[in-house]
Structure 1
């Protein structure tokens, strides 16, 4: 979540060096840094659950899963973000210690203050990653997983998953019951119907 912005231009190199010693995380957008706020219990639990599920699924293969503290670099538009969960299967990413350039899967867990940004400008930024096959948005308090998958024509198609369904992340050939992602999360009852 964005909580403050700097007032002067910072180079990508300055940003990366500063993040190594900073007590708080910052996202980087074209020379400006934005401090990130903490997350709710549900947010952190969903991220942890998905990390464990993906890590167990990918173990022993060529893919790596990262959470919270690993940056995604979008070099073509001068951006660095901290996805909640990110998977890269590209061996070129092994040479980067503090960020990854070629993720195939990016997951953001939503919050009230960042939902519009995650769905809009952040998703638009992530679409500049040619390696990205899926962008996933997860509600932290209702069973709702929205998977945006790039098709053969390069268009993004929505695959929504709700209570009782199996989530499929084709980029890493992963399937699980949606309930597994929400294990130990206190959910809000949806009485809108």
Structure 2
């Protein structure tokens, strides 16, 4: 995670008002605001490939896929994040303008500067979302997929997918080929 921006401690409401006036995106954790860095070409390509595949798969279902410019609020952790891609099936989220609250799937494309945070504190925060069923981490450098799936017992289990395997997302009943996910990534 980046260093905090030189902004005084904000309440969640103050952050939402402040964020709408900013030219760049900022995540919010416990009153502190953190600037988000730019993404690499490979990062954007992978996120776009995942979004497109999910959008096509979810056609005709109550679920919708969103990309990096929509926030997810984790009220229990007083946090707002901008996931690279996420899916929500909740009607309240489909009417929300600033932040959503009920994702069933969250995907983050890793970068060297965010990988540890995405695997650690951010995942801890996301796990506070009761509807969340799967958390997908995509490593563009290693072309590695780590899918954490919440079991019926509430425990999170890691499912690794090796190159060439089809990604199986139980939360949204989607299967995405390796080639589709990493298309145009060189």
The reply to whether TM is greater than 0.5 is yes
Which segments of structure 1 move beyond 4 Å, counting only runs of 4 or more? Answer: none
- Equivalent residue runs for 1:127-166 within 5 Å: 127-166=127-166
Cα pair 2:4 2:32 within 8 Å, conserved? no
Instruction: Tell me how far apart the structure 2 counterparts of residues 90 and 113 of structure 1 sit (CA, whole Å).
Output: 32
Aligned to 1:78: 78
Question: Contact 1:145–1:160 (CA<8 Å) still a contact in 2?
Answer: yes
Q: CA deviation at 1:97?
A: 0.8
Partner secondary structure for residue 141 of structure 2 = coil
- Deviation (angstroms), 1:171: 0.2
Q: How does 1:107-186 map to 2 (within 5 A)?
A: 107-186=107-186
Q: CA deviation digits over 1:124-160, x for unaligned, max 9?
A: 0000000100000001123211100000000000111
- 1:3, CA displacement in angstroms? 4.8
Q: How far did 1:4 drift?
A: 3.9
Q: Structure 1: 5+ residue runs without aligned partners?
A: 187-193
Task: Please name the residue that 2:31 is paired with.
Answer: 31
Deviation at 1:7, TM superposition (A): 4.9
Tell me the number of residue pairs that the alignment of Structure 1 and Structure 2 aligns: 186
- Structure 2, unmatched stretches of 5+, are none
CA RMSD of aligned residues (A): 1.1
Distance 2:4 2:12 in 1: 18
Given that residues 136 and 145 in structure 2 are in contact (C-alpha distance below 8 angstroms), is that contact kept between their aligned partners in structure 1? yes
State how far apart, in whole Å, the 1-side matches of 2:31 and 2:143 are. Answer: 36
Separation in 2 of the partners of 1:4 and 1:179? 37
TM-score, with structure 1 as normaliser = 0.93
Query: What TM-score, normalized to structure 2?
Result: 0.96
